[in-house]
Structure 1
Amino acid sequence: MNKIAIIGCGGSGKSTLARQVATILDLPVTHLDSLYYDDQWNPLPQKEFAARQEKLVVHDRWIIEGNYASTLPIRLRAADTVVFLDLPAITCLWGIAQRRWRYRGGQHADVGVYDRITWSFVRYIAGYRRTMRPRVRQLLAEHAPHAHLVTLTSRRQAKGFLARIGTGR
């Protein structure tokens, strides 16, 4: 596992898992929210965002976490491992509530969090498995058939995954 894409619904724990895996495997981590937004929460133009990812994936070792389905094929084509956090909506909603409590909103580049909760974001999370999961699975099939896919459907499975890679099993 040298090139790892971590994807999943908002609040699923992508940033946390990325930091933990990075520590265990000594890999550099890029949080796409930190790349996409500036200090005033302004997004990059789409072409520039894609170009920055193209530059990242040519490196020999990395973790890139974040969804951004429009640029997901860039990461999937280059990844040797994809970790898909496919957690229930209630777990993800609880995750964003905990994040809000911890960080009090805003962008936190040091931890890869762009914490801006809106009703459209809540609706996105609530409908992720119905609307986005099929699209993600299609993108995985098209752009990452070569990659090892790890699908985690609970926080307990995520902890088990960390334990396995920590012991080399």
Structure 2
Amino acid sequence: MKRIMIIGSGGAGKSTLAKELGERLGIKVYHLDSLFWQPGWVPMERNKFIELQKEIMKKEEWIIDGNYSGTMELRLERADTVIFLHYSTIRCLYGIVKRRLEYHGKTRFDMGAGCPERLDWEFAMWVAGFNRMKAPKLLQKLQKYEEKKTFIFTRPSMVKTLFR
């Protein structure tokens, strides 16, 4: 495991897992949200975001967390390990509410500077629909990459197998 991508619904704990893996393996972590969102929640220009990811992926080792389906194929092609946190909708909704309360008025460690924590209806609905709308497509996409070491975790307790 040298080039690891972590995907899953909002609130699943992708960034927390990425941080822990990075510390344990001594690999630099890149949070896509912190790259994409500029101060004041301004999105990065698409081509710049793609080029930034390409530069990161040239490195021998990296951990990248985040979905961003428009650039997922680039990461899948280069990754040697894929971790999909495929948790229940209720678990992920709980996760986004919990972090909203925990980081109220603050910027999370995995977000860009000047992007204080927020929770809006659109994002909550995206999380609520993730397992129905996005997860089947992700699972189908992962089937094309059988050569990758792939972990699909359906419960947080399953993640502990990575650390054995």
Q: 2:35 corresponds to which letter in structure 1?
A: L
Give the superposition deviation at 1:146.
2.1
The two structures have a TM-score, normalised by structure 1, of: 0.89
Change (3 A) 1:130 1:105: farther
Query: Which deviates further from its counterpart, 96-105 or 28-37?
Result: 96-105
Give the superposition deviation at 1:21.
0.5
Q: Secondary structure at the match of 1:99?
A: helix
Question: Residue 138 of structure 1 corresponds to which residue in structure 2?
Answer: 140
Where do 5+ consecutive residues of structure 2 fail to align? none
Question: Residue 112 of structure 1 corresponds to which residue in structure 2?
Answer: 110
Identity %: 38
8 Å contact kept, 2:104–2:118? no
Q: Matched residues in 1 for 2:105 and 2:21: separation?
A: 25
The two structures have a TM-score, normalised by structure 2, of: 0.92
Question: Residue 101 of structure 2 corresponds to which residue in structure 1?
Answer: 101
Question: Residue 155 of structure 2 corresponds to which residue in structure 1?
Answer: 154
Give the superposition deviation at 1:139.
2.4
Q: 1:112 corresponds to which letter in structure 2?
A: D
1:123 aligns with 2:121: no
1:88-122 Cα deviation digits (max 9, x unpaired): 011001111111111115643xx214633111111
Q: 1:50 corresponds to which letter in structure 2?
A: I
1:41-88 Cα deviation digits (max 9, x unpaired): 100111111111111111000000001111111111100000000000
8 Å contact kept, 2:18–2:65? yes
- Alpha carbon RMSD of aligned pairs, Å? 1.4
Q: Matched residues in 2 for 1:59 and 1:138: separation?
A: 27
What pairs up with 1:1-169 in 2 under 5 angstroms?
Answer: 1-105=1-105, 107-108=107-108, 111-113=109-111, 115-142=117-144, 144-158=145-159, 160-164=160-164
Q: Matched residues in 1 for 2:118 and 2:105: separation?
A: 6
Where do 5+ consecutive residues of structure 1 fail to align? 165-169
Q: Matched residues in 1 for 2:58 and 2:9: separation?
A: 26
Q: Matched residues in 2 for 1:138 and 1:55: separation?
A: 27
1:120-156 Cα deviation digits (max 9, x unpaired): 11111111111001121232233x3321000111111
Q: Matched residues in 2 for 1:106 and 1:131: separation?
A: 30
Q: Matched residues in 2 for 1:51 and 1:105: separation?
A: 31
Q: Secondary structure at the match of 1:70?
A: helix
Q: Matched residues in 1 for 2:38 and 2:12: separation?
A: 23
Matched positions, count: 160
Q: Matched residues in 1 for 2:64 and 2:4: separation?
A: 6
